[in-house]
Structure 1
Amino acid sequence: MTVDRILPSEEAYDLLALATELADRELAPRVAEHEARGEFPRELLRTLGRSGLLGLPYPTEYGGGGQPYEVYLQVLEVLAGRWLAVAEAVSVHTLSCYPVAAYGTEQQRKLLPDMIGGELLGAYCLSEPQGGSDAAALATRARRDGDHYVVTGTKAWITHAHSADFYNIFCRTGGSGAGGISCLLADARTAGIVPQAAERTMGLRSSPVAQIAFDDARVPADRLVGPEGHGFTIAMTALDSGRLGIAACAVGLAQAALDHAVGYAREREQFGHRVIDFQGLRFMLADLATQVSAARALTLAAARLRDAGRPYSVEAAKAKLFATDTAMRVTIDAVQVLGGAGYVADHPVERYLREAKVLQIVEGTNQIQRLVVARSLAA
């Protein structure tokens, strides 16, 4: 189904066309094989970077695209419609570039062209085995030792754990609570940074996640991003943008599931009629199409607030909540439309359903999003 988009510039239309071409040519033919093998498509990320699609929301002075967030999110949506793991990788990498771009020193920002260009792939180390949603209670610690920080602890659910070139490590340099947290930028080759075995996940198998152990890893003190004690602010500010990225991924996945279900319903015949001609199924598809459009509109509305420099945290939470719940609903119903065929891997809706679930969890569970929205109503 063609999505009728209104974009802010001719350049934006060209970028969407480029993203669509690359997604159709490079992503769609490879997704099934990589998912079956559980193989991360690192070279495809380099291809996207060299095509200018990894740094779209960042300034041109650092090698970025200088594009509004609403454009970047629609590129992400296109990628997600062909291969969610790649789109999620782009979203995580974009999130991983944010601390240096927004808070980094002049010396640290010299790394941005390679980071934004995809030559250096990033990971975002916030969650821990005993503390996912409660980020302010993290236990990973960094103690100052001369001109280094010595990091000990464990991070969990780290996307790109085995593929990243750099890590944003959110760790405790001070006392308890949010005020004791700082952000370090670490080279992945640093001695004492040890990715653990990849988790066995329900979906996104071509984007393995794993715990990372920090065993007295020595990170140069000049890799402190922002002042000590400012890490929690950096993390939460970055997550507002990251939630929009996940919302866009959810919209792209939901649109792909809807398109496949509609295509199947047009071709499949029962009782001498196309199944799409039966009112019960037709109304189901109409509801799904409406929900996908609503999720897209809510996501882009939040992005436009961000682009205008206005507060958007609550709207980002609403977008992430609604879009990912929509993706779950649409993929479940897409499997139902296909019946038994939807339950086997011959059709991608089986994979879409498995993938949709994780979007309700990452970048803050949907229960956390409801908490953010509820607090805004009570304030």
Structure 2
Amino acid sequence: MSQTTRNAASDPDRPSFLEELYQGRFRWDLLRDFPVQDPGDARAGDRLVEELADLLRERVDPDELDARRAMPEGLPEELGARGYFALQAGPGTGGRGASHYNTFRAVEAAARVSTPVALSLAIENALGASAFLPVVPEGPLRELLAGVVRRGGRSASADSEPEGAANQRRTTTATRIEGTDDYLLNGRKVFVGHAPVAEVVSVTATVREDDAERVRIFFVRTDSPGVTSGAWHEYMGIKGFPNGRLEFDDVRVPGSQMLVEADSGHVIRQTPATARLVTRGRLHLIAAPALAVARLCAGWSRDFAERRIVDGRPLSDYEEVQRQLADTLAETFAIESLAQWCLLPDDQDRGLNLRYEQTAAKNAASLLGWAIADRTTSLLAAEGYETAASKRDRGAPPIPLERFVRDLRNLRISGGVDFQIDNWIGRLSILSYYYPEPDHAAELLTDGPAPLDTDGTVLSPRNLGHLRTVAAEVHRFGRTCLELSRSHPVKDELLAKERTLVLLAGIARELLCASVVLARASALSAAGDDGGQALADVFCVSALQRADDLRRRLHAAPGPDFAAVSDAWTSGAGFTFLDPHTVRAEESHA
């Protein structure tokens, strides 16, 4: 990648709709030809999903898995033997030769049965041995990974450390052994999916080369001397998903098992290969389970609203319930539309750079999925809070909403905590286009965007209005970023305002999702299906309201002294009446 790009995700040879949006330009021409899965590939995906769903229905009792905190005996081995851990690898390597989108569809189908099973599939296909095969050159390392894939073995990716995943530097180190090409690996990793069961793990470590530190990836056999696999992490949800810690104590790793990559020219926390895999992999790890739960919630909400009678009327007759049902359907449509936009153009080699959208999809999908599950819990009232076993015992439909809510909360944390992802997007992507000032600064200061070309666009009058509003809001977003950069000539001063960065990323996310939903609704209508028009209308109204609220907060007058409150609490100098370890006078006399 050219070192003249504004950030590590940019590609001067491949345009990006969201990259343009960050710069205040609404490139409808990039989005309006919304991708549709090739019919042959769709049929292959149907067969794959049906086959996997049949297997899981036969082998998995998801409530029992949750209660026992363990996969069914032999299931992981069967999934590996059938090539589900290498969905995109070729049949000659033991894979299924699936497309990006069919891989997503398979993980989503698994997630409708069991989130832990789906995460096992996602980990292997997003960050496991098979995922690295396309970026590893011929040689011993490729042979090592290909062997794992052919055997249907399990692998892991170890990046997070006890010191925290957000640090740029990795405290795990790899030191070259003098006179050899080998390295000694030392450090600890935590929250590693498949750590307790993997035979090979990719490990990020700091290496000193040419008087500079770089993060490299090493592939380590877990049976190597000095590798210790710790106890499983126990989470509030995703019970039975193998996740734990790894320790490396003077582990000798051949130099041939280090992945050497070209320097991107940008300071990034991960290696370029890992960054690319994680970016797209989050669709499988995060968006697929979020979409699965959203679909289930939509169905459960419909069934409950129809069978529950309040004062002689079905719950579905009440205006507020109708609004909530419509929001759930529209948001489910948005998650699916975003997943299609993030994956299908890669399958169809459209020459687009989708890394920005794939990064934004993590928060978009997890936050929308969580909103849907939370709304469904409230709609179902006590029945939404009740476990499936309790419902079964009293003869009510045993909807496992409680289990899925526990599982779903993980998605806002896994792959990067939601607010921190927004902080990074604002810091590393959005503001990179305003320091130095962009060439089109004068254009951003005009009253409105360039005229919108809607040729070939098939939208209802209301949705055409939403489209024009989104275009205007994208222009206003660019102007806002420019004004912020001009009012903070020293970039670090603006970077220190993390809430500003979070709000900017949130506005951009809402505008992206509204744009994608409108594009898909247009494509569906062009093919004779107008069902997306109503869903796009519902979604855009809410998304634009959320964006407007975020903008108001962005421009609000200076607020309270949050730092003073926080500092007083963390230093122990204030608010002792709230300290759980302090006995207040009124309590001591009780």
TM-score when normalising by structure 2: 0.59
Distance 1:119 1:338, change over 3 A: same
* Change in CA separation of 1:164 and 1:177 when aligned onto 2, cut-off 3 Å: farther
Which aligned pairs between 1:31-42 and structure 2 lie closer than 5 A? Answer: 31-41=62-72
Unaligned runs of 5+ in 2: 1-34, 265-269, 389-398, 434-590
1:88 counterpart residue number: 119
Stretch deviating more after TM superposition (286-295 or 272-281): 272-281
* Matching residue within 84, 99, 123 for 1:53: 84
Q: Cα distance, 1:237 vs. partner?
A: 1.5
Q: Which position in structure 1 is the counterpart of 2:581?
A: none
Partner of 1:203: 237
Please name the residue that 2:271 is paired with. 232
**Alignment match, 2:16:** none
Where 1:130 maps in the other structure, the secondary structure is coil
Q: Aligned in 2, Cα 1:236/1:43: closer, same or farther, shift over 3 Å?
A: same
Equivalence for 2:320: 280
**1:294 and 2:334 matched:** yes
Is the contact made by 2:174 and 2:184 (CA closer than 8 Å) also made in structure 1?
yes
**Cα distance change on mapping 1:69 and 1:377 into 2, 3 Å:** same
1:377 alignment counterpart? 430
Whether the 8 Å contact between 1:125 and 1:170 is mirrored in structure 2 is: yes
Q: CA deviation at 1:273?
A: 3.3
**Separation in 1 of the partners of 2:385 and 2:138?**
51
Q: Partners in 1 of 2:112 and 2:328 — Cα distance?
A: 16
Q: Distance in 2 between matches of 1:27 and 1:150?
A: 45
Report deviation, 1:113.
Answer: 4.5
Percent same amino acid at aligned positions? 23
Shift of 1:177: 12
Instruction: Name the CA distance, whole Å, in 2 between partners of 1:340 and 1:250.
Output: 23
Instruction: Give unmatched runs, 5+ long, in structure 1.
Output: none
Q: Counterpart of 1:109 in structure 2: which amino acid?
A: R
Q: CA deviation at 1:288?
A: 0.7
Residues 332-358 of structure 1 show CA distances to partners (whole Å, capped at 9, x for unaligned) of 112112211111221311111111111
> What secondary structure, in the 3-state scheme, does the structure 1 residue paired with 2:84 have?
coil
Distance 1:176 1:41 in 2: 50
Moved more, 357-366 or 53-62: 53-62
Provide the TM-score with structure 1 as the length reference.
Answer: 0.89
Q: Show the 5 A alignment for 1:1-379.
A: 7-27=37-57, 29-41=60-72, 43-94=74-125, 95-97=127-129, 98-116=131-149, 119-134=152-167, 136-145=168-177, 146-174=180-208, 180-226=214-260, 232-245=271-284, 246-307=286-347, 308=349, 309-346=351-388, 347-374=399-426, 375-378=428-431, 379=433
Distance 1:22 1:177 in 2: 50
How far is the alpha carbon of 1:178 from its aligned partner? 9.5
Structure 2 distance, partners of 1:349, 1:125, is 31
Report which stretch shifted further, 58-67 or 287-296. Answer: 58-67
RMSD (CA atoms): 2.7
1:311 aligned counterpart, secondary structure? coil
Residue 102 of structure 1, CA deviation: 1.0
* Number of matched pairs: 374
- Highest Rg: 1 or 2? 2
Q: Counterparts of 1:175 and 1:250 in 2: how far apart (Å)?
A: 41
Contact kept, 8 Å, 2:155 with 2:201, in 1: the verdict is: yes
Q: What is residue 526 of structure 2 aligned with on the other side?
A: none
Q: Deviations over 1:142-183 (max 9, x none)?
A: 112235322111101111121111100111121699951111
Over 3 Å counting, the alpha-carbon distance change for 1:166 and 1:27 in structure 2 is farther
Q: Deviations over 1:27-76 (max 9, x none)?
A: 58421111111114573333333434332333455343333312211222
Following the alignment from structure 1 to structure 2, what is the Cα–Cα distance between the partners of residues 203 and 176?
Answer: 45
Can you list the C-alpha shifts for 1:300-357, whole angstroms capped at 9, x where unaligned? 1011243325311110022111111011111111211221111122131111111111
Contact 1:56 1:66 (C-alpha < 8 Å) held by counterparts: yes
The separation in 1 between residues aligned to 2:172 and 2:73, in whole angstroms, is 28
Note closer, same or farther for the CA distance 1:276–1:229 as it changes in structure 2 (3 Å cut).
same
1:137 is paired with a residue of what secondary structure? coil
Contact 2:186 2:250 in 1 (8 A): yes
Q: Distance in 1 between matches of 2:207 and 2:236?
A: 35
